[in-house]
Homo-oligomer: A and B are copies of this chain.
Amino acid sequence: MMRLSQLVEKLGGELHGADAEVTRVSSLDGATPDALTFLTNPRFKNLLVDCKAACVLLKAADAQDVTVPHIVTDNPYLYYARAAALLHPAPAVRAGIHPAAYVDATAVVAADAEVGPGATVCAGAVIGAGAVIMPQAYVGERAQVGAGARMYPQSCLMAECIIGERVILHPGAVIGADGFGNAWADDHWEKIPQLGRAIIGDDVEIGANTTIDRGALEDTIVANGARIDNLIMIGHNCQIGEHAAMASCVGIAGSTRIGARCQIGGAAMIGGHLDIADGTIILAATAVTKSIREPGVYGGPIPAAPQDQWAKNAVHLRRLEVTNNKVKQLEKQVAALLARDTQEE
């Protein structure tokens, strides 16, 4: 519970209205008298009329005629994120190793770190100050977990790999499994040992069941501040730039570089050995098969259509070469007709 004036003291902004106490953040239409809510899209301003919130976060431009108590701020969405973190803090760290955890005698666990029941910390691993290894998480041999990091249940950090400070690994995330390396030997594949590591910078968040493979010879790198959603695959030797963000189900094949601050939509697929320029935006469900040197917005998916309509189009899609040849032929014929016409005159 916090007074609005306390929030303003910590986060800035200008309070208009009573200095009430708030206990939670909420959506506009789910707001109760103990709630702090926010308006980011002026389209929803009409919802303010009946809004029961203790306070609404909004921009100066949206504040006119607003009678509900409100805090004016440049970025209501960011303010909401920060207020939510203050009002709903993460559970406190329970320092110590749970008796039902398995921690190798040669692992080094900071005194104020937490290791939950069923967690495994292998030989030579290092767990930083205030880090939380939740139940059933796995930290491999000589792996390192940065200060303040949180490994959720069933997340997995393989041998020698590193996650930085305040990194979050959601359940089922696998960091540092072997990359996909095979050499063909006449009549069968032989495995190429994967000798690099996966190195995750500070303040990175990695979603549930996402996999980031270790490098083949060099390391796979995810730079500081990147945001990686669920069920994403990042192949061996990739380099993901600082503050890059990618939505769920993205696949990135090996040895590709994603530039800083790139934004990649869900289910986009990016080939191997490519270079994507800093700040590039790739739309959802787009297939990227060549490097992108110029930042910009790139797309390519075919939007869904009623099946009978799409089925007809799909036939022509496979005959585009033929259609194009017909158009060329028509152009020649019409040009000839027009030329003759002109001659006749």
The interface of chain A, by Cβ under 8 A from chain B, is 24-27, 30, 75, 77-78, 80-82, 84-85, 88, 91, 100, 102, 116-118, 120, 122, 135-136, 138, 140-141, 152-154, 156, 158, 168, 170-172, 174, 177-178, 180-185, 187-193, 195, 203, 205, 207-209, 211, 213, 217-218, 225, 227, 229-231, 233, 235, 243, 245, 247-249, 251, 253, 266-267, 269, 271, 282-290, 292, 296-314, 316-321, 323-324, 326-327, 330-331, 333-334, 337-338, 340-341
Q: Smallest CB-CB separation from A326: which chain B residue?
A: B327
Q: A245-B182, A287-B302 are in contact. Are A253 and B282 (CB under 8 A)?
A: no
**CA–CA, A78 to B192, complex, Å?**
8
Q: Is the CB of A217 within 8 A of B30?
A: yes
Chain B residues with CB under 8 Å of A337's CB are 334, 337-338, 341
Interface centre among A24, A203, A217, by most chain B C-beta atoms within 10 angstroms, is: A217
Q: Is the CB of B248 within 8 A of A251?
A: yes
Q: Is the CB of A307 within 8 A of B302?
A: no
**CA–CA, A151 to B41, complex, Å?**
41
Q: Which 3 pairs show the lowest CB-CB distances between chains A and B?
A: A316-B320, A177-B208, A102-B117
Q: How many copies does the complex hold?
A: 3
**CA–CA, A257 to B116, complex, Å?**
36
Q: A88-B193, A211-B208 are in contact. Are A298 and B305 (CB under 8 A)?
A: yes
Chain B residues with CB under 8 Å of A156's CB are 153-154, 171-172
Q: Is the CB of A307 within 8 A of B317?
A: no
Q: Is the CB of A324 within 8 A of B323?
A: yes
Q: Is the CB of B304 within 8 A of A298?
A: yes
Q: Is the CB of A283 within 8 A of B307?
A: yes
Chain B residues with CB under 8 Å of A229's CB are 180, 233
**CA–CA, A266 to B232, complex, Å?**
12
Q: Is the CB of A303 within 8 A of B304?
A: no
Chain B residues with CB under 8 Å of A299's CB are 304-307, 310-311
A334 to chain B, nearest CB (A): 5
Q: Is the CB of B117 within 8 A of A117?
A: no
